[in-house]
């Protein structure tokens, strides 16, 4: 009996040592770095590209990066669940030291595609990556970042260093990796094919699925439809009042948008109004720059998805 207890104690101590060693490894390793492939790109800008880039940015970049100075100087991302740690967005203004003013067009493109900064630092899953965005959309965003728009003008605000959790570091070891840079240009689908165009808007241009799937921790950004609970909602977010909210189910189930009309969907996107006319809770925002074609295409695509039974609406509507 004593021999058995000694063996059990030996294995217990061994397990503790292994776990402690692994935790220490994660802490020391931190967020990984990757070799950077030099990417040559010069974006030819014009007013149409800048306007289009600003429209995309109003849904993507501005939401997370607008600081207290009104510029994209970065802020604390209080809407993220605390599982990821204390996360701050970066200064992405044109300041050469505190922002990205010293980056090339290729550096920005490479980061947005792969998730890797010019110094090789990988940005964890709370920073979106855009491996599916079309070349025109991507270059439009870069043109906007280079423009004379007030929100991207140089800001001296230094980025506050994030404090990623042990979980975040673990996920960056086993699940979330850098993406390969695309070797061929990515084109936008035919806008006459509404379902396919709607998919592009959801996963390529506006990146809706990370928030509206089950959990950030199960994202599959390279193959979005393989994300857990794809578009079925239930992901944890934090509202401005500090309360946890669950994102909406956007599949055509009765617990999602199964009894909605296209007009209901349009009102939700443009005016943040639910089917019953109540205001949607933050962090859901009104996206009033969307066109009727975009809304119709997104609607058609969502209706084509497999219904998911996940009743979460009461967590994102005003009660």
- Banded model confidence at residue 1, pLDDT cuts 50, 70, 90: low
Q: How many domains does the chain have?
A: 2
Read off the pLDDT of each residue in 174-197 and give the average, rounded to a whole number: 89
Whether residue 81 lies inside any domain: the answer is yes
217 located within any domain: yes
- Note the pLDDT of residue 24: 55
Whether 28 maps to a domain, the answer reads no
**pLDDT over 90 at 238, yes or no:** no
Judge whether 121 lies within some domain.
Answer: yes
Same-domain pairing of 303 and 199: yes
Confidence of residue 173 (pLDDT cuts 50, 70, 90): confident
Sorting pLDDT into bands at 50, 70 and 90, what band is 28?
low
Percentage of residues in the chain with pLDDT exceeding 90? 56
What percent of the chain lies above the pLDDT cut of 70?
87
Q: How far apart are CA 114 and CA 43, in angstroms?
A: 18
Final residue of a structural domain among 174, 205, 220: 174
Residue 15 lies in a domain: no
> Are residues 240 and 141 located together in one domain of the fold?
no
pLDDT attached to residue 135: 96
When pLDDT is averaged across residues 176-196 and rounded to a whole number, the result is 90
**Is pLDDT above 60 for 55?**
yes
Together in a domain, 150 and 57: yes
Q: What is the pLDDT of residue 317?
A: 44
Q: What's the distance, CA 228 to chain centroid?
A: 15
Which of residues 140, 174, 208 is at a domain's end?
174
Residues 152, 246 within the same domain: no
170 and 211 in a single domain? The answer is no
CA distances from 52 to 107, 134, 145, 213 (A): 20, 12, 12, 27
Per-residue confidence (pLDDT) for residue 218, from 0 to 100: 87
CA distances from 49 to 17, 71, 257 (A): 56, 20, 33
**276-281 long-range contacts, Cβ below 8 Å, gap at least 24?**
276/317, 278/317, 278/318, 279/317, 279/318, 280/316, 280/317, 280/318, 281/239, 281/245, 281/315, 281/316, 281/317, 281/318
pLDDT the model gives residue 4: 54
Whether 22 has a pLDDT exceeding 60, the answer reads: no
36 inside domain: no
Mean pLDDT, residues 184-200: 95
Claim to verify: residue 161 and residue 223 sit in the same structural domain: no
- Whether residues 67 and 169 share a domain: the answer is yes
**174, 203, 227: which is the final residue of a domain?**
174
**Cβ(116)–Cβ(36) below 8 Å:** yes
Q: Is 139 found in the same domain as 107?
A: yes
Q: Please indicate, yes or no, whether residues 261 and 306 belong to a single structural domain of this protein.
A: yes
In the three-class reduction of DSSP (H, G, I as helix; E, B as strand; rest coil), residue 240 is classed as coil
Give the CA distances from residue 82 to residues 26, 75, 79, in Å, rounded to whole numbers and listed in that order.
18, 15, 9
How large is the average pLDDT for residues 123-151? 93
Are 202 and 148 in a shared domain?
no
- Residue 32 falls within a domain, yes or no? no
pLDDT of 67 reads 94
When mean pLDDT is compared across 3-12, 47-56, 276-285, 309-318, the lowest value belongs to 3-12
pLDDT for the residue 2: 58
Q: What is the average per-residue pLDDT within 201-227? A: 91
**109 and 61 part of one domain:** yes
Question: Domain limits at 249?
Answer: 194-315
User: Is the pLDDT reported for residue 138 higher than 70?
Assistant: yes
Task: Please give the Cα distance from 266 to 221 (Å, whole number).
Answer: 26
Listed as own residue / partner, the contacts of 239-247 with beta carbons closer than 8 Å and 24 or more positions apart are: 239/79, 239/281, 239/282, 239/283, 240/78, 240/282, 240/283, 242/78, 244/81, 245/281, 245/283, 245/315, 245/316, 246/312, 246/315, 246/316, 247/211, 247/212, 247/284, 247/312, 247/316
Query: What pLDDT is recorded for position 16?
Result: 46
Q: What is the overall mean pLDDT for the chain?
A: 86
Task: Convert the pLDDT of each residue in 86-128 to its tens digit.
Answer: 999 999 999 999 999 999 999 999 999 999 999 999 988 788 8
Residues 147 and 240 in one domain: no
Residue 150 forms part of a structural domain = yes
Give the pLDDT mean for 24-42.
76
Please determine, for residue 219, whether its predicted confidence score (pLDDT) is greater than 60.
Answer: yes
């Amino acid at each position: 009996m004593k021999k058995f207890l000694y063996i059990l104690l030996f294995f217990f101590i061994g397990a503790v040592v292994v776990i402690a060693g692994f935790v220490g490894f994660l802490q020391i390793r931190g967020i990984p770095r990757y070799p950077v492939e030099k990417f040559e790109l010069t974006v030819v800008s014009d007013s149409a590209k800048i306007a289009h880039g600003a429209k995309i940015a109003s849904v993507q970049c501005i939401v997370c990066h607008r600081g207290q100075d009104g510029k994209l100087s970065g802020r604390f991302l209080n809407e993220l669940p605390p599982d990821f740690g204390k996360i701050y967005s970066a200064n992405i203004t044109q300041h050469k030291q505190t922002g990205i003013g010293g980056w090339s067009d290729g550096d920005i493109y490479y980061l947005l595609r792969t998730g890797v900064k010019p110094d090789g630092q990988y940005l964890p899953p709370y920073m979106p990556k855009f491996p599916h965005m079309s070349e025109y959309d991507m270059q439009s965003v870069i043109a906007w970042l280079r423009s004379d728009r007030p929100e991207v003008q140089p800001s001296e605000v230094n980025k506050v260093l994030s404090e990623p959790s042990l979980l975040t570091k673990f996920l960056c070891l086993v699940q979330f990796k850098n993406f390969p840079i695309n070797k061929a240009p990515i084109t936008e689908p035919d806008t006459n094919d509404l379902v396919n165009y709607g998919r592009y808007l959801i996963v390529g241009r506006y990146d809706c699925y990370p928030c509206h799937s089950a959990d950030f921790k199960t994202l599959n950004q390279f193959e979005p439809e393989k994300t857990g609970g794809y578009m079925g909602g239930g992901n944890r977010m934090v509202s401005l009042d500090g309360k946890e909210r669950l994102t909406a189910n956007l599949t055509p189930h009765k617990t999602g948008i199964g009894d909605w009309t296209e007009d209901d969907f349009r009102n939700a996107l443009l005016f943040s109004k639910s089917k019953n006319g109540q205001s949607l809770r933050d962090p859901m925002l009104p996206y009033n720059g969307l066109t009727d074609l975009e809304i119709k295409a997104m609607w058609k695509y969502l209706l084509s998805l497999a219904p998911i039974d996940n009743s979460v609406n009461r967590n994102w509507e005003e009660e």
